[in-house]
Amino acid sequence: MKLKKRASTVFTRSVVAINTSTANVPGIERQIDELTEGKDEPNWVTEARYRGMRKFESAPSQDPIISDPLDFIARRGETPADDLESLDDLPDETKSLLDELGISEMEQKALQGLTIQDDTGMIDSSFREKWEKRGVIMAPMEEAIREYPEARERFMQLYDPGESKLAAYHTAVWNGGVFLWIKEGVKEEIPLHLFFLIQQEALAQAPHIVIFAEPHSEIKLIEGCTSPILSRHSLHLDMTEAYIGEGAKVDLTVLQNWPEYVHTRPTQRGKIAKNGELSITSVGLGPGKSNITDPRYWVEDGGRVEINSIIMAKEDSHVDLGGKIYLEGEGSTGINNSKAIIMDESKVITRGTINARNSRTKGHISCDALVMEDGASMETYPGLSSQVDDAELSHEAAIGKIKAEELFYLMSRGLDEDEATQLIVQGFIEPAIEDLPEEYLSEIRKIIELSVQGEM
């Protein structure tokens, strides 16, 4: 597989510095000026940035960890990536990070679609032109908003920049991300891959992603997120907008392995049309210092959205998984499942809600947690509401520790305590990950094993 730099791609680096002055709107304006200087950004996009800036002052500060987003200042730096012909041409540290997400194995298996965003910008492979001929467009967002009306019509349409300070901040200083467009009737079995790497200390990423699946199309997208050990906190602040057409099907798998010093705020908004399906599996092997999400989905007649979250929380990480599903169409379905392994002094909160607004709707929320240490904690707040009398809504939750009799039984069969613990944890998590690609499963199992042994 060949990797190459697209002539139309702008390679940028967004570096975070700690702001020692008072946080204010002029600080955001300076960032906008720097991010847009010398770039062919359409005026309407720049105006959207300023709209986010104006919303910032009045937007509520809802994040329990990041009290002031302006502690992280995005600055652009041009960093050309020349002569990239294969993965071997990437810097050693980049290849090492990709190895952690299973890329080496996939490369050996002739991976046909790979896009990487690290702190120097976007790198995409030679698959792109071939897939464009087959009806699949995957373009850097900065390019897409100039070249594709389909991207312009859907860019930043599913959320209000005034809903929070982080939303306003993303609107103002976003950079990077991709536009994925699957044309009507196109069905691809081979997944596309998109990876976000943070390699620099005190660096921020704010990618914006738009997924547009036309009617009766099908696609699989795998996202990976990771970083080396850092000595200063970084911020990953992304926004995904998904438009799933009638009868279309999109499977999104997100594999996160963030280290201790990364705060991550993945935000998703999705509209699922009649008989459309959106399935999201998020595997958080390393949630970073904090991982807080608040996705929202609107589902029309016969549509379906399914969220599966697998979290391994460790050290003193703070994980808060939200999720609001609005069943607006007749016969629509919403599922929100989560499994958590909670270690050390980490804390996990789940607070999914399902709102039934039409007849014959179905919704289910489940939360299972395995608490490994006395200092670890788990809280769950499921919410179900219905505006009709024939909706079928349910929830279930189970929080507990490994039972002593389970350990005793396995140890009586010749396993030591660590081996018995690993086997129980693997059995707990395996049903949630068994449908993932095999090359990812090997990495997930290895990370779980090392975490249980206390080696990560």
Tell me: pLDDT of 441 over 50: yes
Q: What value does the mean pLDDT of the chain take?
A: 83
Q: How confident is the model at residue 90 (pLDDT cuts 50, 70, 90)?
A: low
Give the per-residue pLDDT at 203: 62
Domain ranges of the chain: 3-294, 403-456
Q: What's the Cα-to-Cα distance from 319 to each of 63, 294, 346, 448, 452, rounded to whole Å?
A: 12, 12, 8, 17, 19
**Average pLDDT over every residue of 274-288:** 92
Instruction: Return the SS3 of 54.
Output: helix
Read off the pLDDT of residues 190-242 as tens digits, 9 standing for 90 and up: 888 887 777 655 566 789 999 999 999 999 998 888 766 555 678 889 999 99
pTM: 0.87
Residue 323: which of 355, 288, 361 has the closest Cα? 355
Read off the pLDDT of residues 12-70 as tens digits, 9 standing for 90 and up: 333 333 333 334 577 899 889 988 888 889 999 999 999 999 999 999 998 999 988 88
Q: How confident is the model at residue 76 (pLDDT cuts 50, 70, 90)?
A: low
Find the range with the poorest average confidence among 70-74, 162-166, 237-241, 294-298. Answer: 70-74
Give the relative orientation of helices 404-412 and 417-433 as an angle to the nearest 10 degrees. 110
**Average pLDDT over every residue of 84-96:** 58
Q: Find tokens 């599913």 and name the residue.
A: 158
Tell me: pLDDT of 79 over 50: no
DSSP-assigned states of every residue in 110-136: T---EEEEETTEEEEETHHHHHHHTTE
Residue 103: which of 7, 223, 14 has the closest Cα? 223
Calpha distance 219→192 (Å, rounded) = 8
Read off the pLDDT of residues 394-423 as tens digits, 9 standing for 90 and up: 999 999 999 889 999 999 999 998 889 888
Query: Who has greater pLDDT, 379 or 72?
Result: 379
Give the per-residue pLDDT at 31: 86
Tell me: pLDDT of 5 over 70: no
Q: Cα angle at 158 between 125 and 61, to 5 degrees?
A: 105
Give the per-residue pLDDT at 111: 44
